[in-house]
């Protein structure tokens, strides 16, 4: 019983923080509420599931804080029927949330362990339109676009121009851009013609984009 109360209180505090920042898309908030965040975390971190802290997951990776995830998903402005490409599956949580808003989510990770865990979580929740795949996402999925939305949870050192061709006209990509060490700028890139129109929407500290796939894990 206490755990259920803690969960509700944590979610309520999360909502208050979002409203304080002006992030209130009703469909997105409903998608977060309908996706059991604790199921994507180890038992050790259930009490801080809705905090804005980055929390460790398997393979030496981390899940972003709930506030950052919500800010990015809100900025993506996902519409029903959209095809979404996510680079950095991690625990699978953001793909599960986006699957409730989009038509289809293809989510890539370098680590087979994370991909398999995400697949099991999606199956347990009856999510059939989120498709996890082990792949090198540093150049996206060139043969499978265009996508309406692309989100990347690790940083590029410069504007990722190669992704322009993978977005549909008017499509939106969100990615951190900046140095490996220190803060990066979170950029919202909208495809206009054959180029990106860039709007900077915040700062983050995320890992640089990894190349290749992990051989063992």
Domain ranges of the chain: 2-204
Q: What is the DSSP letter of 182?
A: S
Q: Quick one: pLDDT at residue 4?
A: 77
Q: Is domain 2-204 in CATH 3.40.50.300, yes or no?
A: no
Per-residue confidence (pLDDT) for residue 192, from 0 to 100: 97
Q: Which run of H or E residues covers position 1?
A: none
Please state, in angstroms and as integers, the Cα–Cα distance from residue 119 to each residue in 115, 116, 124, 162, 216, following that order: 6, 5, 9, 28, 18
Residue 160 burial (C-beta neighbours within 10 Å; 0-12, 13-18, 19+): buried
CA distance 69 to 93: 9
What end-to-end distance do the CA atoms of the chain give, in Å? 37
pLDDT tens digits for the chain (217 residues)?
A: 477 778 899 999 999 999 999 999 999 999 999 999 999 999 999 999 999 999 999 999 999 999 999 999 999 999 999 999 999 999 999 999 999 999 999 999 999 999 999 999 999 999 999 999 999 999 999 989 899 999 999 999 999 999 999 999 999 999 999 999 999 999 999 999 999 999 999 999 999 999 999 888 8
CA distance 175 to 48: 26
pLDDT at 216: 82
What pLDDT score does 145 carry? 87
Q: Considering Cα of 118, then 124, then 126, then 128, what sign does the dihedral take? A: positive
DSSP letter for each residue of 104-139: EEEEEES-HHHHHHHHHHHHHTT--SEEEEE---TT
- Helix 26-33 / helix 66-76 crossing angle, nearest 10 deg: 140
Residue with tokens 């990509």: 173
Gap between the Cα atoms of 129 and 13, Å rounded: 30
**C-alpha to C-alpha distance for 43 and 177, rounded to whole angstroms:** 33
Closest to 61 measured CA to CA, from 151, 131, 173, 154: 154
Q: Determine phi and psi for 112, rounding to 5 degrees.
A: -60, -40
DSSP-H helix ranges across the chain: 2-20, 26-33, 66-76, 93-99, 112-124
The whole-model pTM stands at: 0.96
């Amino acid at each position: 019983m206490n755990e259920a109360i803690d969960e509700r209180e944590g979610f309520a505090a999360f909502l208050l923080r979002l409203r304080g920042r002006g992030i209130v898309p009703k469909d997105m908030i409903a998608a977060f509420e309908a996706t059991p965040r604790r199921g994507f975390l180890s038992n050790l971190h259930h009490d801080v599931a809705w905090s804005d802290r980055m929390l460790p997951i398997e393979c030496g990776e981390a899940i972003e804080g709930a506030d950052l995830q919500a800010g990015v998903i809100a900025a993506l402005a996902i519409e029903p029927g959209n095809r979404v490409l996510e680079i950095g599956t991690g625990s699978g949580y953001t793909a599960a949330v986006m699957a409730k808003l989009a038509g289809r989510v293809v989510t890539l990770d370098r680590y087979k362990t994370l991909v398999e865990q995400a697949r099991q979580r999606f199956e347990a929740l009856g999510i059939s339109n989120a498709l996890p795949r082990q792949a090198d996402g540093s150049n996206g999925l060139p043969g499978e676009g265009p996508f309406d939305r692309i989100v990347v949870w690790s940083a590029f050192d410069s504007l990722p121009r190669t992704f322009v061709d993978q977005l549909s006209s008017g499509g939106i990509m969100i990615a951190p851009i900046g140095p490996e060490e220190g803060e990066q700028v979170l950029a919202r890139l909208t495809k206009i013609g054959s180029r990106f129109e860039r709007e900077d929407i915040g700062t983050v500290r995320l890992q640089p984009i990894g190349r290749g796939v992990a051989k063992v894990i």
